[in-house]
């Protein structure tokens, strides 16, 4: 790929649109507001806290990533979204029960102004869920066109110059690629014909891409992981990425597994129990939605001569607390990618996903450390800095 000669500076405000305003989305919005007001720190966000080493080690250049590449500032983010329930972001955050009342109050002024737009929803794709705040239309194409109108209206009303969309909606039922996903023409025909292989999340993705809006998929749904939408993304110069935010057990697995692999230790598998909370937990109570989410359950490790060992991790995580900074980083990096002229699948953002998207002829890279190296090297490449390979002189590189 040719390196962009320049990256357009972030002018004006950046609008963040989330289909789905539940636990993850509202924890993200509230968090940004709390950080802006100085009540909290953006812990877990690489864009806000991480540094990047540049050049030889003797140069001692390690700026903050947000000072090295022109990222939008938190002060300039505005928020919008869709949900099948009419609750404001404040109400939704309260019901999600992730944040303490004190934090909810500190973010209330902003959150209570964020009213969801009516959703493109079909219960056939999320069986355990139903709600009143939905669009009615004859065809899926009509629904998608209505989403495009929402996007334009939001842009006008919020004054945002640029937009990014991140799917934070419920996990849809498991789907495999279908012939109608093969190219944009077949996809659009299928939308007109209300074909069952077109899920609501795909309508949002189509609306975003054809409006020139970068799109990230935070759930394990197929969504943009199909040739039709990837081709459209390239054609409209839109960066896309997915899928399924890397939080919880998978985050730990992709930290531990590369360590075992590096030491050539054996792994029989992981045995894991996953206790799901929130509305997402209810949705995943349906076997079809859970199939989309199901995690591999493996076991013990073994060493020299095959001797068994065991590792136990008692990881009481808060999924939305881990997911919120991922949403923030994806928003800022996708916006950067767009201003740099990058389009199609952004594999350098694999770092944030459980099932990273990649070109069809490649296999996905899961190792968190390789993913981080790829992310940082992409940033160095964007700015014309030397890539860090750790291959140079032992004293300098
Ligand atoms: N750490 C995490 O929490 C985590 C990690 C990986 C993936 N995810 C995925 O992120 C998504 C959001 O998780 P959550 O915990 O916020 O769930 P949630 O149930 O709290 O929120 C999802 C919201 O999406 C809404 N929704 C469903 N279908 C919709 C549609 N078609 N249009 C608009 N809104 C719709 C629901 O009404 C709900 O309010 C889920 O798909 C989940 O699997 C979450």
Write the pLDDT tens digit of every residue in 77-99: 999 999 999 999 999 999 999 99
Taking the CA of residue 221 as reference, the ligand 1 atom at the shortest distance is: 41
Residues 143 and 59 in one domain: yes
Q: Which of 283, 309, 335 is the last residue of a domain?
A: 309
Residues 156 and 282 in one domain: no
Span between the terminal Cα atoms of the chain, in Å: 25
- Is 69 inside any structural domain? yes
Domain count, the chain: 2
Residues 84 and 153 in one domain: yes
Residues 30 and 106 in one domain: yes
pTM of the model: 0.93
Q: Retrieve residue 73's tokens.
A: 């500032």
Q: Which of 282, 309, 336 is the last residue of a domain?
A: 309
Q: Is the minimum distance from the CB of 289 to ligand 1 under 6 angstroms?
A: no
Length of the chain: 397
Taking the CA of residue 283 as reference, the ligand 1 atom at the shortest distance is: 19
Q: Write the burial class of residue 59 (CB in 10 Å: 0-12 exposed, 13-18 middle, 19+ buried).
A: exposed
> 32 near 77, Cβ under 8 Å?
yes
Write the pLDDT tens digit of every residue in 41-71: 999 999 999 999 999 888 899 999 999 999 9
Mean pLDDT of the chain: 92
Site to substitute for ligand 1 among 93, 170, 219, 249, most atoms within 8 A of C-beta: 170
The average pLDDT across 280-290 equals 60
- Residue 140: the pLDDT is 98
Nearest CA to ligand 1 atom 1: 319
Nearest CA to ligand 1 atom 32: 119
**Residue 295 pLDDT level (bands cut at 50, 70, 90):** very low
Residues 219 and 325 in one domain: yes
Half-sphere exposure of 57 (CA within 13 A, CB side): 9
Write the pLDDT tens digit of every residue in 184-236: 999 999 999 999 999 999 999 999 999 999 999 999 999 999 999 999 999 99
Q: Which of 309, 334, 357 is the last residue of a domain?
A: 309
Residues 131 and 259 in one domain: no
Residues 290 and 342 in one domain: no
Taking the CA of residue 326 as reference, the ligand 1 atom at the shortest distance is: 1
Separation of 379 CA from ligand 1 center, angstroms?
30
| Cα–Cα dist 235/216, whole Å | 17
- Residue 290: the pLDDT is 55
Separation of 171 CA from ligand 1 center, angstroms?
6
Residue 297 has pLDDT above 70, yes or no: no
Residues 34 and 80 in one domain: yes
Residues 24 and 172 in one domain: yes
Separation of 282 CA from ligand 1 center, angstroms?
11
The average pLDDT across 354-380 equals 94
Q: Is the minimum distance from the CB of 245 to ligand 1 under 6 angstroms?
A: yes
Residues 129 and 223 in one domain: yes
Site to substitute for ligand 1 among 20, 97, 320, most atoms within 8 A of C-beta: 20
Q: Which domain holds residue 161?
A: 13-246+318-382
Please report, for the domain that includes residue 377, its CATH number: 3.40.50.720
Q: Is the dihedral of CA 12, 18, 21, 26 positive or negative?
A: negative
Residue 284 has pLDDT above 70, yes or no: no
Q: C-alpha distances in angstroms, 205 versus 80, 147, 224, 226?
A: 16, 10, 7, 11
Q: Is the minimum distance from the CB of 247 to ligand 1 under 6 angstroms?
A: yes
- Residue 296: the pLDDT is 40
| Cα–Cα dist 351/368, whole Å | 6
- Is 395 inside any structural domain? no
Q: Is the minimum distance from the CB of 22 to ligand 1 under 6 angstroms?
A: yes
Residues 126 and 51 in one domain: yes
**Residue 132 pLDDT level (bands cut at 50, 70, 90):** very high
Residues 255 and 330 in one domain: no
């Amino acid at each position: 790929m040719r390196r962009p000669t320049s990256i357009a500076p972030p002018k004006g405000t950046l609008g963040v649109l989330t289909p789905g305003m539940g636990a993850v989305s509202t924890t993200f919005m509230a968090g940004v507001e709390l950080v802006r007001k100085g009540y909290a720190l953006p812990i877990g966000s690489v864009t806000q806290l991480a540094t990047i080493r540049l050049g030889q080690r003797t140069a001692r250049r390690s700026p903050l990533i947000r000072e090295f590449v022109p990222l939008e500032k938190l002060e300039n983010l505005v928020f919008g979204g869709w949900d099948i329930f009419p609750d404001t972001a404040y109400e939704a955050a309260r019901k999600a029960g992730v944040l303490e009342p004190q934090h909810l109050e500190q973010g209330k002024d902003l959150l209570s102004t964020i009213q969801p737009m009516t959703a493109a929803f079909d219960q056939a794709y999320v069986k355990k869920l139903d709600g009143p705040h939905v669009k009615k239309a004859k065809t899926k194409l009509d629904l998608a066109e209505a989403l495009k109108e929402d996007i334009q209206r939001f842009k006008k009303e919020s004054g945002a110059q640029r937009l990014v969309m991140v799917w934070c909606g419920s996990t849809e039922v498991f789907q495999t690629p279908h012939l109608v996903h093969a190219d944009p023409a077949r996809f659009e025909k299928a939308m007109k014909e209300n074909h069952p292989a077109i899920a609501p999340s795909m309508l949002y993705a189509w609306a975003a891409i054809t409006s020139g809006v970068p799109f990230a998929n935070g759930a394990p749904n197929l969504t943009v992981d199909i040739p039709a939408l990837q081709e459209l993304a390239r054609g409209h110069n839109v960066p896309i990425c997915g899928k399924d935010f890397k939080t919880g057990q998978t985050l730990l697995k992709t930290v531990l597994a590369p360590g075992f692999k590096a030491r050539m230790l054996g792994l029989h598998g992981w045995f894991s129990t996953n206790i799901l909370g929130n509305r997402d937990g209810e949705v995943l109570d349906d076997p079809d939605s859970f199939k989309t989410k199901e995690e591999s359950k493996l076991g013990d490790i073994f060493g020299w001569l095959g001797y068994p060992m065991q590792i136990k991790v008692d990881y009481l995580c808060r999924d939305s607390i881990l997911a919120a900074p991922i949403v923030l980083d994806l928003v800022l990096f996708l916006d950067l990618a767009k201003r740099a002229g990058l389009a199609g699948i952004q594999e350098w953002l694999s770092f944030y996903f459980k099932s990273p998207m990649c070109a069809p002829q490649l296999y996905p890279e899961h190792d968190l450390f390789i993913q981080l190296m790829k992310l940082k090297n992409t940033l160095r490449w964007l700015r014309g800095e030397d890539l860090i390979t750790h291959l140079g002189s032992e004293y300098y590189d």
